[in-house]
């Protein structure tokens, strides 16, 4: 049975936005499962800040650990990116940009999404948005 976004959602709702130990436990438990990255992508733009931040942190960790998104997963992520509105999740996406491959549409989506972040209140997010661009 494949991992579902609902199973990850249950775990991510316990994340307080700070203690990444829980995220490490989620990663250890689910990484390598079928649909792991698909489920995380589906939660990247969740309306709860902690869920969105946790999902994008886990995507970033997977990419930094050598995982790669398939073309279909990349397209799914581009579909989610415009709705990612919490600064922590936005930061994780910016930090992941170097590990992502972009279609022409994906690059255009990133450009539109990143440009306003260049003037964000958070200096670290501004810096990483420049890096991502």
What's the pLDDT tens digit per position in 7-25?
Answer: 899 999 999 988 899 999 9
Per the rule left: phi > 0, alpha: psi between -120 and 50, beta: everything else, 17 is left
Average pLDDT, the chain: 92
Tokens for 23, please give them.
């995220």
The maximal CA–CA distance of the chain, rounded, in angstroms, is: 44
Number of H helices, E strands in the chain: 8, 0
Q: Decide: 49 and 84 in contact? Cβ < 8 Å.
A: no
């Amino acid at each position: 049975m494949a991992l579902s976004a609902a199973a990850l959602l249950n775990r991510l709702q316990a994340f307080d936005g700070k203690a990444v130990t829980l995220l490490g436990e989620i990663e250890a438990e689910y990484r390598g499962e079928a649909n792991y990255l698909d489920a995380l992508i589906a939660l990247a733009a969740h309306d709860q800040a902690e869920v969105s931040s946790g999902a994008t942190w886990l995507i970033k960790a997977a990419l930094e650990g050598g995982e790669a998104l398939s073309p279909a997963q990349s397209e799914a992520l581009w579909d989610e990116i415009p709705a990612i509105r919490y600064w922590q999740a936005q930061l994780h996406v910016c930090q992941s940009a170097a590990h992502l491959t972009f279609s022409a549409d994906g690059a255009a989506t990133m450009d539109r999404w990143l440009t306003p972040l260049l003037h964000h209140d958070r200096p670290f997010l501004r810096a990483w948005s420049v890096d991502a661009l």
